[in-house]
A and B are shown apart, each in its own frame.
Chain A
Amino acid sequence: MAPMFQDEGSSSVTSSPLQLFSMMSLSPNLGSPYPFVRELKSEERGLYLIHLLLTCANHVAAGSLENANIALEQISQLASPDGDTMQRIAAYFTEALADRILKAWPGLHKALNSTKLTLVSEEILVQKLFFELFPFMKVAFVLTNQAIVEAMEGEKMVHIIDLNAAEPAQWIALIQVLSARPEGPPHLRITGVHQQREVLEQMAFKLTEEAEKLDIPFQFNPVVSKLDNLDFEKLRVKTGEALAISSVLQLHSLLASDDELLRKKSPLAPKNLNGIHLPGVLQINQSTLGELLEKDLVNGHSRSPDSATSSPLSLSASAKMDGFVNALWGLTPKLMVITEQDSNHNGSTLMERLLEALYSYAALFDCLESTVPRTLERLKLEKMLFGEEIKNIIACEGAERKERHEKLEKWVQRLDLAGFGNLPLSYFGMLQAGRLLQGYGSDGYKIKEENGCVVICWQDRALFSVSAWRCRK
């Protein structure tokens, strides 16, 4: 078994072969000073980057900022958002690590981020790019739509709630399919939830236009709101209509909660933090760093509810998520389709999350490298979507950490507990999805079926999962 060390870095880490790689060597060649590194070939550079990245992460986790700084310096010689896959990944991961370190000085962190511009148009563009450059959203849409069409057979009044109404293509396709139904189209109502009014307006325009063309009675209701504080009354669910809910990559942010508070209140919290002794740390820091470290230690040491293990008891407690899912159940939908990232980025320790994230984002970046040329758009997608996600996973904690991706089995558990029964996705839908993936031209995309749910992979790395649910009494 893994040794019971108090140090956050090692206890979870010795069990990972990748982490051990960081400890080991590289040949003496690579140990030489800087000028040599420019001559490294891509593979060696990649391995070296991994090594440095993990070393740096270990130092950050342990609080030894000097070492972390040195590692960062070395990485910056090799990493680049414009280079090959490993260089890009390293660039974003180190940026995230640096951000994490900087959070130990909140004033500094805030000051550096105070003039950051976040253009809504850029954010919208990035979402569009994600939709275009990858087939994942499209596959999710195909599967969702097929599930809706099948569930709504014979229904006259259909109400769909879209928890992230940003991409009209999904519903345009559904409208077209529904208009061709043998029994005629139903009366269709779509309620779209999004934070930006402009996006909803655009969506309303597109969808109404489409429905008018096809002569379908249609209504679009925009709801400008975050999911955190969504007022379910605004959704205007009426009795007598068949309700379908579609959530694409939205639920995981509801898992964000103040873990510290939760853990202190939880009976599983360890009470023996006093046994830990890290003299080196105390020399370096301000008190904030010490607290950060203590948090890390708490994260590492206690096998608290939101650890990465997949035992049935280890569903992370989140009142927000429970409340939301229960409210969804209370709407008694006929169908609910959930699309989520299928990776465990919600481990309680930094290293757990970092290692998992390395694999996931390596797959995503590889996928882009294999299918999309190195354009500015791709760079934007990598930086503004993946870079931000990575930063959130690595640098943030508690309620700030929104990108809490979890594996499919956890979602299955969670929804099952909330009173939903799994509806296997139809074979026909999967066929359509498979065809779509093949049309994307690369045989790296794979689709798998797991207990009625569909998992979309890149080269055997599971990336996204789609599952359908009904209300169980």
Chain B
Amino acid sequence: MMSGDSFSVASSIGGFGQEVQNTNPNPNPAAKKKRNLPGTPDPDAEVIALSPKTLMATNRFVCEICNKGFQRDQNLQLHRRGHNLPWKLRQRTNKEVRKKVYICPEKTCVHHDPSRALGDLTGIKKHFSRKHGEKKWKCEKCSKKYAVQSDWKAHSKTCGTREYKCDCGTLFSRKDSFITHRAFCDALADESARLTSLAAANNLNFGNDSMNETVINPQPGLPLGASQFGSGFRPELSGMAINGNSLGVDQQKPRLSLWLNQANSQLNPTDMMANSHLYESSGSTAFPEMVQAVSGNLFGSSSMPNFGNFNNQQFQGFDKSVSTSKNASLSLSALPHEMKEEGNKGNVVETLSSLYSDTQKKQSKPSMPMSATALLQKAAQMGSTTSNPSSIFGNSFGVMSSSSSNTTTSFNTLNQNRNELHQALQNSKQQAAENFTASGSVDGMLGSSNLSSLTTSTNSFDQLMMQTSGKQSDPVALKNHPGSNAIENSLTRDFLGMGGRESQRPFLAQELAKFASMSSAMGLSQFTGNH
């Protein structure tokens, strides 16, 4: 057997180093080729030894006209048609084709031996590249290198897509090897006990007992119940971070995923589960818990009639400290301090609200100290009402401020400026009066109050300026408006509602309404005009 082969080897060795012209024709689609078992070449097959150059060559057939390379002779022939060259397509020889097997030219290689020849030309080429060739193709994701492009392509399709990780930390890309490993992995022994209880919890959904298990399941450094929730509003954050996460995650995995599931159909039952976490999240750092709690809250307040009952059931299963601290956290936490039953859903998506929202807000909490925002609004309104007249008034203030910067120490110039200001005010006051009488019906009150505020503003502004420069008031300045002072004092008090009033509340409501209407009528339009 071997002698015959060796003979043909010898005969083909002549072909060693030359181009071998017998390419395999395309597999005949009609007759399926018989495949030998791997590692057992056909004994009477012709053994072909190709040189490395031949094996690695890609485009062996070259057009003499344009030097374009082709892998198959047929392709070259067809190409030659384009040059109007004579071409001839080889026909598949009708006589019996002798089977060819190929050996690897690399002497140290196993496949160099004809008894281990490979049956396919493509196969031998790939083999040669893989084993004895340079790895030119690199996977981008994991930096694995390949000599054969098709290997590289196949790998990059699956690289990183499916990775199995054992709990001991080993990574596998193949499912079978992963499963085999897992069966023998020691680390799993501990986990399996825990996992079965978790699985039970997941399946039962509302099972109090199993949840108890997971809650109470001792983990290092997890102070349950009291320390987590009962420590009031701000538990220690670093501790909490771990606690909150580990406590919440096991229970949350099914719930959060369900809750955030795109299909909203699961929302209702999910939120019932989430309700159990409603009060846990006060003071915890874990965001998912927070989100959980929110969802629970919303649906609890609006759509779940038996919310209260259900919640109680839930809490019975928990640690006692949790349930007692539920109340504590209710009162302390940033979470609902008033469980509003009315649906706040309307607030979810809003458009820009009107200017008067601040006044409404102020009126709604009359007994609470005014918020800073409200104070600023009020100050702006007060500022805008006094500045209603034209920009000349603004001019005068501009003059004031620039000149005031000059006169940090000299008081006389201050007086001068004040006089200028009074003059400017006189002018503007008249102008303002004209403006106001020309406008609508509101102006009767508007004009007088504005004017009064103008005069009072200038008077007291003077006083304020005197304060800031730390000197006593100059009696000269006040003489400019002798008549208005007496009248204006009462209006001054009204203006700010201090001193002569019994209660703050009526001031707020009435005066604010007045300011709001004034500002809306005059101030804003004025200022949009100014811009």
Q: Which of B165, B353, B398, B530 contacts A212 (CB 8 A)?
A: B165
Number of interface residues of B (CB under 8 A): 111
Pick the residue among B373, B404, B496, B519 that contacts A27 (CB under 8 A).
B496
CB under 8 Å from chain A, chain B span 283-298: 285-288, 290-291, 293-298
Q: Does B316 contact A (CB under 8 A)?
A: no
What's the least CB distance linking B523 to chain A, in Å?
6
Given contacts A359-B376, A439-B290, contact A62 B163 (CB under 8 A): no
Contacts of A59 on B, CB cut-off 8 Å? 405
A267 part of interface (Cβ distance < 8 Å): no
* Cβ < 8 Å to B, chain A residues 1-40: 1-3, 5, 7, 9-11, 13-29, 31, 33
Q: Quick check: is A461 within 8 A (CB to CB) of the other chain?
A: yes
- How many Å from the CB of A133 to the closest CB on chain B? 7
Interface membership of B395, Cβ < 8 A: yes
B410 shortest CB reach to chain A, Å: 10
Task: List B residues 304-360 near A (Cβ within 8 Å).
Answer: 332-338, 340, 344-345, 347-353, 357-358
A238 — nearest CB in chain B belongs to which residue? B140
Give chain A residues whose Cβ lies under 8 Å from the Cβ of B140: 238-240
A436 within 8 A of B: yes
Q: Which of B245, B361, B373, B397 has the most CB of A within 10 A?
A: B373
Q: Tell me if B401 counts as interface (CB < 8 A to partner A).
A: yes
In B460-484, the 8 Å CB interface with A consists of: 460-461, 463-464, 467-470
Which of B351, B464, B523, B530 has the largest number of chain A CB atoms within 10 A?
B464
Q: What CA separation (Å) do A169 and B285 show in the bound complex?
A: 8
Q: Does A2 contact B391, Cβ atoms closer than 8 Å?
A: yes
How far is it, in angstroms, between the C-alpha of A176 and the C-alpha of B294 when the chains are bound? 17
A438 and B294 in contact, given A66-B409, A448-B350 (Cβ under 8 angstroms): yes
Which B residues, 213 to 235, have Cβ-Cβ distances below 8 Å to chain A? 233-234
Contacts of A213 in B (CB 8 A): 249, 253
CB < 8 Å neighbour of B372 from A20, A86, A157: A86
Is the C-beta of B38 less than 8 angstroms from some C-beta in chain A? Answer: no
Cα A180 to Cα B202 in complex, Å, equals 14
Within 8 A of A (CB), among B146-167: 156, 160-161, 163, 165, 167
- For the complex, what is the distance from the CA of A346 to the CA of B206, rounded to whole Å? 53
A136 within 8 A of B: no
Identity of the chain B residue whose Cβ is nearest the Cβ of A177 in the assembled complex: B260
Q: A429: nearest residue on chain B (CB-CB)?
A: B260
A291 within 8 A of B: no
Which candidate, A102-110, A244-252, A277-285, A327-335, is the interface stretch facing chain B?
A277-285
Interface pair A67/B372, CB less than 8 Å apart: no
Stretch at the interface among A312-320, A369-377, A398-406: A369-377
Does B98 sit within 8 A of A, measured CB to CB? no
With both beta carbons as reference points, the residue of chain A lying nearest to B334 in the complex is identified as A371
Given the complex, which residues of B lie within 8 Å of A44, measured CB to CB?
Answer: 496, 498
Nearest Cβ distance between residue A36 and chain B, in whole angstroms?
A: 11
* A214 contacts B by Cβ under 8 Å: yes
Chain A residues near B386 (CB-CB < 8 A): 20-21, 24
Given contacts A44-B496, A180-B261, A439-B294, contact A131 B285 (CB under 8 A): yes
Q: Does A50 contact B (CB under 8 A)?
A: yes
Q: Which of B383-439 contact A (CB under 8 A)?
A: 383-384, 386-387, 391, 394-395, 397-398, 400-402, 404-409
| CB of B379 closer than 8 Å to a CB of A | yes
Q: How far is the CB of B305 from chain A (nearest CB, A)?
A: 19
Whether A138 contacts B141 by the Cβ 8 Å rule is: no
Chain A proximity of B355: nearest CB distance (Å): 9
B495 near A27: Cβ-Cβ < 8 Å: yes
Query: Is A440 touching B334 in the complex (CB atoms < 8 A)?
Result: yes
Q: Could you say which of A20, A187, A362 contacts B383, with CB atoms under 8 Å apart?
A: A20
Cβ–Cβ contact B383 & A441, under 8 A: no
Residue B381 lies at the interface, judged by CB distance under 8 Å to chain A: yes
For A97, the chain B residues whose CB sits under 8 A away are none
**Given the known A-B contacts A20-B387, A27-B499, A280-B407, are A460 and B353 also in contact in the complex, defined by CB atoms under 8 Å?**
yes
A377: chain B residues at CB < 8 Å are: 234
Bound complex: CA of A459 vs CA of B371, how far in Å? Answer: 11
> Which residues 165-190 of A have a CB within 8 angstroms of B?
167, 169-170, 172-173, 176-177, 179-180, 187
In contact, A434 and B348 (Cβ under 8 angstroms) = yes
A394 to chain B, nearest CB (A): 16
Does A366 reach chain B (CB closer than 8 Å)? yes
Q: Is B87 an interface residue (CB 8 A)?
A: no
The answer to the question of B7 belonging to the interface, with a C-beta cut-off of 8 Å to chain A, is no
Which residues from chain B contact A1 at a C-beta distance below 8 Å? 391, 530-531
Whether A26 touches B496, Cβ cut-off 8 Å, given contacts A7-B398, A157-B160, A238-B141, is: yes
Is A233 an interface position by the 8 A CB rule? no
Contact present for B493 and A23 (CB under 8 Å): no
Question: Is there contact, CB below 8 Å, between A176 and B257?
Answer: yes
* Interface Cβ pair total, 8 Å cutoff: 337
The prevalent SS among residues of B at the interface is helix
Indicate whether A206 reaches chain B with its CB closer than 8 angstroms: yes
Distance in angstroms from B170 CB to nearest chain A CB is 12
Do the beta carbons of B287 and A172 come within 8 Å of each other? yes
| Count of chain A residues near B, Cβ 8 A | 121
B383, A22: Cβ atoms under 8 Å?
yes
In the complex, B369 has a CB within 8 A of chain A: yes
Q: B519 to chain A: which residues have CB within 8 Å?
A: 17
Contact of B407 with A128 in the complex, beta carbons under 8 Å? no
Decide: A187 near B376, CB < 8 A? Known: A28-B463, A44-B496, A439-B290: no
Residues from chain B with Cβ under 8 Å of A430 in the complex: 348-349
Provide the bound-state CA to CA distance between A244 and B31, in Å: 53
> In the assembled complex, how far is the CB of residue B467 from the closest CB belonging to chain A, in whole angstroms?
6
Q: Mark A45-84, 1 if CB is under 8 A from B, else 0.
A: 0110011000100110011101100110000000000001
In angstroms, Cα B234 to Cα A290, docked, is 48
Chain B residues, Cβ within 8 Å of A263? none
Type the 1/0 row for A348-373, where 1 means its CB is closer than 8 Å to any CB of B.
Answer: 00000000001100110110011111
Given A3-B395, A366-B372, A440-B335, are A29 and B350 also a contact pair (CB < 8 Å)?
Answer: no
- Expressed in whole angstroms, the Cα–Cα distance for A59 and B402 within the complex equals 10
Q: Does B262 contact A (CB under 8 A)?
A: yes
Neighbouring B residues of A94 by C-beta, 8 Å: none
Closest to B257 in A: A180
Q: What residues of chain A have their CB less than 8 Å away from a CB belonging to chain B?
A: 1-3, 5, 7, 9-11, 13-29, 31, 33, 41-44, 46-47, 50-51, 55, 58-59, 62-64, 66-67, 70-71, 84-86, 89, 125, 128-129, 131-133, 138, 141-142, 146, 149, 156-157, 167, 169-170, 172-173, 176-177, 179-180, 187, 206, 210, 212-215, 217, 238-241, 278-281, 284, 358-359, 362-363, 365-366, 369-373, 375, 377, 428, 430-432, 434-441, 443, 446-449, 459-461
* 26 A–B contacts, CB within 8 A, in A order: A3-B394, A14-B397, A17-B387, A20-B397, A21-B382, A25-B460, A26-B464, A47-B378, A64-B405, A71-B468, A149-B260, A156-B161, A169-B288, A173-B287, A176-B253, A176-B256, A210-B249, A241-B141, A280-B405, A280-B407, A284-B408, A366-B371, A434-B349, A438-B348, A439-B295, A441-B334
Known A280-B405, A438-B344; further 8 A-B contacts with Cβ < 8 A: A31-B467, A86-B375, A157-B160, A284-B408, A366-B373, A428-B262, A439-B335, A441-B336
Chain B residues at the A interface, C-beta cutoff of 8 Å: 140-141, 156, 160-161, 163, 165, 167, 233-234, 237, 241, 245, 249, 252-253, 256-258, 260-262, 264, 285-288, 290-291, 293-298, 332-338, 340, 344-345, 347-353, 357-358, 361, 369-373, 375-376, 378-384, 386-387, 391, 394-395, 397-398, 400-402, 404-409, 453, 456-461, 463-464, 467-470, 489, 492-493, 495-496, 498-499, 504, 519, 523, 527, 530-531
